[in-house]
Amino acid sequence: MKLLRTALLAATAAMTALPALADSIKIGEINHYKRLAAFAEPYKKGIELALSEINGAGGVMGKDLEFIFRDDQGDPAEAVKIAEDLMTREGTVMITGSILSHVGLAISSFANEKGYVYLAAEPLADSLVWSSGNPYTYRLRASTWVQAAMLAEEAAKTDAIKYATIAPNYAYGQDAVAAFKANLKRLKPEVEFVAEQWPALFKIDAGAEAQAIERAKPDAIYNVTFGTDLAKFVREGGDRGLFDGRKVYGLLTGEPEYLDPLGDEAPEGWFVTGYPWYDLPEGPGADFVAAYQDATGETPKIGSLVGYMTAQSIAAALTRAGATDSESIRAAFEDLTIEDTPIGTLHYRALDNQSNMGAYVGTLAVKDGKGVMVDWEYKAPAPYMPTDEEIMAMRPAE
C-alpha cells in the first residue's frame, strides 16, 4: 500500500510539474534565424500567421498548436543537439524546419534513428527523400531535381550547346548541378559542360568565378548561387559583361529573399524559379498574400509561403492522427491531403514522403527599380519526377 501511495504521489507531482503539456501541442522548429535571416524570419512569420488561424478556429484536438523556435546557427551538430533537447525536455511531438540541406540531412538521420517525425520544410537536396530517405522524414518544398528539370526544359529549347555552371559546394549545390546536367543531357544529348565553378557557401570570390566562366566561353550559364553569393556574382558578372548575349538559368534567383536585395541590378532576361506574389490571380494564392500583408505589414517571401504551409501540414497530420505519438503522426503523413492551401490541394505521397508542391518559373525583368518575374507560370512537379520505379530503387529498404 505504501509503495502504491508513493507511486501515486510521484505521478501527481510529475503531472503538476508539466502543466504546459496539457495546454498545447508543441512542435520543435529548428532553423538558421541569424545566419539566413532573409528567409528564416519571413518563414517564422508565415508559421505565426497559420497558427493564429488554426488556434483561432479551435486548434488541434481541442488544444492550441505551439511552435518552439530554436536557432542552430546553420550547424548540423548543433541542430541535432537541439532536436534531442526539444523532444526529450521541451515536450515537442515532432520536429520541423531547416533551410540548408546538409543541416536537414543531419536532422533527418537523427529523426530516423530515434523514431521522431521530421517535416523538412525547405531543404531541397534530392537525397533527403531519395537516397537518404527514411520513413520518418517528409518534405514540403519541390525537390532540387524537379526545379532543375523545369529550367533544363527551357534551356533545351535554345541553340545553346556549351554550358557553364556555378553552385555552392555542398549537398544542395551538388545535387542542383547534377540534376540540371542529367535533365538537359536527356533532352538535348549534344550539350557540353565546359566549366564548373564550386565556391564555398557564402564565401564566393565572385570576380575570380566570373573570370573563370568567361574563359570557358560558354553559350549559357546555370547559376545556383543565392543570398550574398548571388548578389556578388550578379554584380561582378554584370561589370565584366559575363551575361551579355548569354542565356542564364537561375535556381531560386526569382525568390524575393534573394531578388529584392538586387534592386535595379536584377539581371534581366534570366530564366528562374521564384515567387511572383505581386502578380498572382484571384484565388487562394492571392488571399494568402493579402492575409500576410495585413498581419505583418510586409510583402511575403517564399519563406512566408513555406512557413505557412508547414504549419498547415502539421495541423492536418495531427488532426488525421488523432494522437501525438510518433507512429501515429508518421502514419498520418502518408498520403495526407490538405485542402485550401495557397497553392490549392497539397498532398504528401507515401512513395517517397514528398509533397506535390510545385514551383513558379519565369523571366526576370526590372520594373520600378526592382526585379520581378514576368511571363511566369506555376508548374506541378509530377511531369518532372523520375519514375516511381526509379525512386524506389534509390530509396533505402525499409
Give the start-to-end residue ranges of the domains of the chain. Answer: 2-144+282-358, 145-279+359-388
Task: Report the candidate in 141, 131, 49, 134 with the shortest Cα–Cα distance to residue 100.
Answer: 141
- Stated pTM of the model: 0.92
Q: How far is CA 398 from the centre of its chain?
A: 25
3-state helix, strand, coil in the chain (%, to 5): 45, 20, 30
Residue 229 to residue 202: CA distance in whole angstroms: 5
| Cβ pair 210, 237 in contact under 8 A | yes
All 3 cell numbers of residue 16? 503538476
Only one residue has cell 523571366, namely: 363
Task: Report the candidate in 311, 352, 353 with the shortest Cα–Cα distance to residue 332.
Answer: 353
Q: Report the phi/psi class of residue 365: left, alpha or beta, with left for phi > 0 and alpha for psi in -120 to 50.
A: beta
Q: How far is CA 26 from the centre of its chain?
A: 22
All 3 cell numbers of residue 229? 553569393
Calculate the CA dihedral of residues 71, 62, 331, 130 and round it to 10 degrees.
-30
For domain 145-279+359-388, which CATH number applies: 3.40.50.2300, 3.40.50.20, 3.40.190.10, 1.10.645.10? 3.40.50.2300
pLDDT in tens, the chain (398 residues): 333 333 333 333 333 333 344 589 999 999 999 998 989 999 999 999 999 999 999 999 999 999 999 999 999 999 999 999 999 999 999 999 999 999 999 999 999 999 999 999 999 999 999 999 999 999 999 999 999 999 999 999 999 999 999 999 998 999 999 999 999 999 999 999 999 999 999 999 999 999 999 999 999 999 999 999 999 999 999 999 999 999 999 999 999 999 999 999 999 999 999 999 999 999 999 999 999 999 999 999 999 999 999 999 999 999 999 999 999 999 999 999 999 999 999 999 999 999 999 999 999 999 999 999 999 999 999 999 999 999 999 999 87
Task: Report the candidate in 43, 104, 98 with the shortest Cα–Cα distance to residue 71.
Answer: 98
Q: Return the DSSP state at 387.
A: P
Burial of 63 (0-12, 13-18, 19+ CB in 10 A): middle
Please provide residue 365's backbone torsions phi and psi, each rounded to the nearest 5 degrees. -145, 165
Burial of 291 (0-12, 13-18, 19+ CB in 10 A): middle
| Cβ pair 173, 222 in contact under 8 A | no
| Cβ pair 385, 352 in contact under 8 A | no
To which CATH superfamily is domain 2-144+282-358 assigned?
A: Response regulator (3.40.50.2300)
All 3 cell numbers of residue 114? 530515434
